[in-house]
Structure 1
């Protein structure tokens, strides 16, 4: 459906917005026919956004063109001024300059372009050169920082590689050690199995021999188990004998009869009384000495 075929009664639109969109489309396509589109809220809103964006862009371009024109006019005026100044004051013109002078002039122009000076005054050149020097210093400082960071990174990388190499060596050692231990463990398992088999064989042979001995009428007390039990009982009796002997040693100094034992007891009592008397005298003497010492 063409834009001109829109009927106001089909939907509720803002008439002014629709008219602006249609006018913008006609202006955009000029003499070319406008493409057909469905007139609805979504389409009109989308075209309206595009229209505003296009108009804003056109305004920006117009401002930029005007600014460029003004700058070009300023540059032309400054060029005419400099040419007239050189011609009238110094009687210089591009045609009158020598080859070397033209080269210097081109160098000056290139320098001014590179330095992006506002004008050709000496102050502008010095300011621009100072700015470039600061930028150069900042760039050099940044390069030094980056070089230091690179050096630190190389050192860390070297340390990491050395650590990785050492870990690989340690891993190889661990693998070798594990292989050796596995071989030892396998050998131990084989030996253990051999001992188990041998033990089982001996147990069977012992049982067979015991049955043969029992059949031949051998006394059971002479069997290994009985002998072990007897040995254990003998050890217990020997320990009891040692304990009893220690008790008997306490009575070896006693007289052989009761009368002599009583005499011994009386003698011991007299000796004990004598010792108590001596001890009491010693205590009394020490007490007197202490009292005399305190009085002094």
Structure 2
């Protein structure tokens, strides 16, 4: 732990330089994180130093090659940078720029053509990739349009569903209120019926006088009346005969006896109820 803290402090001092090191809470997690950052920073610094050394070495090689080519031009052809015309200098600069753009060291035609062909092939691949991306982009645009239309339809359906649900909820609430009212009313009527029955029982009311018994008695009276109808039909032919006091009196007596019998039977039935 002490070694890590020393390493972290040394790294922070090196990073901050003349600036004061920020205060931080010293605990195991903080020290571990800063220690890992210090190791990563030192590793990157070493890699950067190696890269700089390689670039410096490459630059030195280029400078040596340039000096060698200058000596060759000066000794073999008799040309020097001072003796070149501005147009020639521009040509050489363009040649150097092209070589750097193509990434070649030798400016011979045999190296230029493969490099140009390579760049041309890369350009064709990029154009092909761009066309493919344009087609994909167009397809995505069409799909996006369809998706937006579908989204609009879904949103409209959702709004309709919400409105319908609100209306159904209002109806359901109204039905619940009505059901509560009907339930309360039914309980009230049931209590009233029980109280009425209790009052009738307390007054020793005859069960034969209740609605059901009276309705049954009415049905029986209707049945007796139906039985009387045939007898009345039998009397109808005698109603048109010439009056005969003796026969009429006999018939009247028979009818009276029969009616008296039916009346007594009806009274017995009513009393039995």
Greater relative CO, 1 or 2 (CA 8 Å, sep 6+)? 2
**TM-score after normalising by structure 2:** 0.46
**TM-score after normalising by structure 1:** 0.43
